[in-house]
């Protein structure tokens, strides 16, 4: 019985403590949320993403038509090419003529994304950078170098760009539209919770 009374007293004391400090608790929560939103919206540097697509297939001079074996072979070859693009040697050759500060093969490889598009002979290549011009130029150089390397790896293959690299106009992160929408939601949520707590603790 005493243990039950002690538990009730403990819970009651906790509730009373929360009741006395609810304004502080709400204020801290809202302040932390607002600071997080401000950092995301104004402090974090925007990141831009350039993208291109390349087609992997037979050499244009080949007279033989595609058959199912050819298609399967080139679809499997996409995985090999995807790994080849993200090698430091290839990237080093690609960026050797670029003059951007701090441009290193290791960092470029980490910012490269290569996705074989399912059930196709197409590779999508993306590169992210804080500088939109760098994003475009690096991806263009990497793609050009990849086409040269692919010809060396598979002499009778045909790799060609089917979607050119363009200068990215808008950052992919932080997404300020989403941040703005989230901030509106947070403010509305905060007001509702504030009103709810006022009613409880009156």
For residue range 186-200, what is the model confidence (pLDDT) as tens digits?
555 555 554 544 554
Looking at residue 122, its pLDDT comes to: 95
Distance CA 124, CA 116 (A): 6
Residue 62 belongs to a domain: yes
Q: Are residues 40 and 54 in the same domain?
A: no
11 and 99 housed in the same domain: no
Mean pLDDT for the stretch of residues 101-113: 95
* pLDDT confidence band for 76 (50 / 70 / 90): confident
User: Do 123 and 54 meet the contact criterion of CB atoms below 8 Å apart?
Assistant: yes
Taking Cα atoms as reference points, which of 44, 47, 56 lies closest to residue 110?
47
Write out the residue range of the structural domain in which residue 7 sits: 2-44+176-201
Domains held by the chain: number: 2
Residue 65: inside a domain, yes or no?
Answer: yes
CB crowding 9-20: b at 16 or more within 10 Å, else e: eeeeeeeeeeee
The predicted model gives 66-75 an average pLDDT of: 77
- Please check whether residues 84 and 126 belong to one and the same domain: yes
User: Do both 114 and 64 map to the same domain?
Assistant: yes
β-partners of residue 124 are 53, 115
Rounded mean pLDDT, 67-96: 89
> Model pTM?
0.66
Q: Is residue 10 part of a domain?
A: yes
Helix axes 132-153, 68-85, angle to 10 degrees: 130
Same domain, yes or no: 88 and 103: yes
Across 143-150, average pLDDT: 96
């Amino acid at each position: 019985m005493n243990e039950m009374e002690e538990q009730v007293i403990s819970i009651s004391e906790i509730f009373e403590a929360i009741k006395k400090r609810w304004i502080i608790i709400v204020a801290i929560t809202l302040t932390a949320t607002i600071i997080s939103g401000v950092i995301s919206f104004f402090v974090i540097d925007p990141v831009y993403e350039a993208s291109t697509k390349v087609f992997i297939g037979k050499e244009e001079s080949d007279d033989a038509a595609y058959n199912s074996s050819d298609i399967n072979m080139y679809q499997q070859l996409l995985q090999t090419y995807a790994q080849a693009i993200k090698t430091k040697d290839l990237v080093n050759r690609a960026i050797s003529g670029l003059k951007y500060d701090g441009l290193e093969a290791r960092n470029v490889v980490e910012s490269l994304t290569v996705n074989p598009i399912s059930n196709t002979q197409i590779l999508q290549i993306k590169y992210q950078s804080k500088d939109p011009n760098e994003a475009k130029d690096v991806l263009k150089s990497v793609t050009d170098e990849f086409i040269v390397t692919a010809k060396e790896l598979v002499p009778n293959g045909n790799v060609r760009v089917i979607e050119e690299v363009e200068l990215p106009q808008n950052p992919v992160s932080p997404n300020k539209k989403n941040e703005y929408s989230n901030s509106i939601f947070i403010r509305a949520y905060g007001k509702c919770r504030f009103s709810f707590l006022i009613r409880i603790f009156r």
